[in-house]
Amino acid sequence: MELDEVVLYQDDSGDSDVMSERVAGLASSIYREFERLIEKYDEDVVKDLMPLIVGLLENLDSVFAANKEHVVELELLKEDNEQLVTQYEREKALRKHAEE
pTM (two decimals): 0.60
pLDDT tens for each residue of 45-61? 888 999 999 999 999 99
Nearest by Cα to 5 from 22, 21, 17: 21
The 10s digit of each residue's pLDDT in 74-100 is 999 999 999 999 999 999 999 999 988
Distance CA 11, CA 15 (A): 6
Distance, in Å, from the CA atom of 37 to the CA atom of 2, rounded to the nearest integer, reads: 20
Q: Which residues contact 9 (CB under 8 A, 6 or more apart)?
A: 16, 17, 19, 58
Q: What is the pLDDT of residues 9-49, one digit of tens each?
A: 444 444 445 678 889 999 999 999 999 999 999 989 888 99
